[in-house]
Structure formats: structure tokens, C-alpha cells
Amino acid sequence: MKVKNKALIGQLSDTDLRLLQIYKAVVDCGGFSAAELELNIGVSTISRYVKDLETRLGLVLCQRGRAGFVISRDGEVVYREIERLLRSVNEFRRGIDHIHQHLSGELHIALFEKTATNPSAHIDQAVSAFVQQAPEVSLHMHVRPINEIERGVIDGRFQVGIIAAHRDSASLQYDHLFDERMQLYCSSSHPLANKAQADLRWQDLRDWPLAGLAYHSPNMEMSHRAGLVRQAHAYDQEAVITLILSGQFIGFLPTHYAQSFVSDGRLHCLNPSLFFYDAQFNVMTRRSPEPCRASNLFRTCLISAHKRTN
């Protein structure tokens, strides 16, 4: 739906950029009230700014009222273009900072979930070292599935990615950080929990439904190699463990994440000497265009933090 008497943007001013950022925050937060805390301005002011942007663009971006906040089709297109514009602005700022040997702007880092409880992961130490050296850089940490992290680093949404290695892209650079042991689990109520564990072999598992990650990953690769039947598809480790705890599925989990559930008797580790694999975690950055100085510094901090402890 288009509004009448539209006045399309010709040249972007600082005011226009601010209006675009406000609209993006409203969409990210899911509405005007939710964006109030994020933007630190009142709902009525936010509403006025979005109305000003609609007038400036000649478009209806969203519906608001008793039915709640609903983004329009035009609003979705504008949101995607704002994301692309802001990435370009940040690339420009990083380029200028590079000329002046100054570090500022934003750095978006995406990592696979459940790494904080891994004793081999020292991402927190890398963050600390980075902030001490680049205090003016605003860090944005995202937790995403492996496939989304790969796409995000390639298209520039994320400058740094940390994932479990499973396939390489020629457009990305990889450096090893740490490893993660993955073992096979069932719930304490599952029939396999009462079997003699030392006697279990891979072929004994093929009649039991598996819960596994639904996208290309070491989890999927191992399931295929072992000939296991995946009947429940999960999109994060929280979903995998929930399915396993139902008593209807077996599944692979990081040992550090599963440990507390094993300790309280809710999970059972199946023949740990056989049913396991090790996932290698890498940091990845884009090869071209050349990563900005902040990206390279964070990558260096990650590598140094893990070399000191490995």
C-alpha cells in the first residue's frame, strides 16, 4: 500500500539515517513498546519518527494499533534494504578507520551455541583481550546455526564466525580453535538405558529413532555414516536434548552440556567408548574483500587465547 503525496528520498541525510535505524530497531524488537527501552525514547516519539519515515519514503511500513504491530510487505523490503545499507556504512567506517589505523564502529560475531560450558573454549578470554585493545568497537554477539553463520560471514552480516568444521568454502579462511567431544545419549526411561552397554554396537542402534540437527553439520554427517535413522529434526542443541529427554529418541550431545543431566539421572550415555565423535571448532573470516582491522584483531585474540591453553 502506498501513501498519497509521497516524497521519495533523494539524498540521504543524517536525519534519514537516524529514522532508518529507529525503524530497524522497532522491527528487531517486535513493536514500538518493546523498542522503547532499546532506543531510550518514548513510544509516542518512536511512532512519530516512523511516521516521518513513511512520509519520506512514500510507503506504509507497518500497522500498529489494538491488533498489535504488523510489518507490511513494503516494510519487509525496506527492512532488508536498511540492513544492507547499514552494513555498507559500517564497511565504509571500517575502511576509513583502517586508513587512520583506528579501531571503532561495530563488529558482528556469530558463534554456534553451547560453547560457554566447554572447558576447551576460551572465547571469553579473547573478548577480554579484544576489548582492552579496541575499547571503541561495539561488539555484537550472535548465536546462530552453523549454516546461517556460514552464509552470514560470506554475505557480510557477520565479520567473524565460530563453528564446528564440516565443510570448507573457498571464499572463507579457517583457523582451528578448540575441540568438542560429542557422545550418544538416551533418557533414563529409554529401553537402551537398561542394556549391557559394552555389548552395544552401531548396528544395534539402527532400529531406534534418532533426534539430530536438521542442517549440514558434523552431527548430520556422523548420523549418516553410522546408518542411524533420524526421525526428529532439531535446529539447536536445546531442541535435541528436549527430544532425547522425552524418552522417544537417542541423540548426540556435547559432553560438557549433557553432564549435569547425566549427574541428576535424567540422561544416560550410551557405550561411551564407542558411540562418540570429536568436532573441531574453527574461527572463520572472509577472504575477499579483505577483513577489516577489527575482524583481524578479534581473530588474532581468539587464536592466541586458545594457543595459550592447548
User: How far is C-alpha 249 from the chain's CA centre?
Assistant: 26
Same domain, 35 and 113: no
What is the DSSP code string of 137-171? EEEEEEE--HHHHHHHHHHTS-SEEEEE-S---TT
CB 164 within 8 A of CB 281: yes
List, for residues 242-272, the tens digit of each pLDDT value: 999 999 999 999 999 999 999 999 999 999 9
Same domain, 165 and 272: yes
Same domain, 306 and 172: yes
Same domain, 129 and 38: no
List, for residues 53-90, the tens digit of each pLDDT value: 999 898 999 987 777 789 999 999 999 999 888 888 87
Same domain, 209 and 64: no
pLDDT for residue 1: 46
Q: Please determine, for residue 94, whether its predicted confidence score (pLDDT) is greater than 60.
A: yes
Same domain, 19 and 55: yes
Q: Look up the domain containing 292 and give its range.
A: 105-310
- What is the rounded distance in angstroms from the CA atom of residue 94 to the CA atom of residue 92? 5
Domain harbouring 51, CATH code: 1.10.10.10
Residue 30 lies in a domain: yes
Average model confidence (pLDDT) for the chain? 89
Same domain, 112 and 223: yes
Domain end point (choices 87, 119, 135) = 87
Average pLDDT over residues 277-290: 92
- 60 grid coordinates: 506504509
Q: DSSP secondary-structure letter at 292? A: P
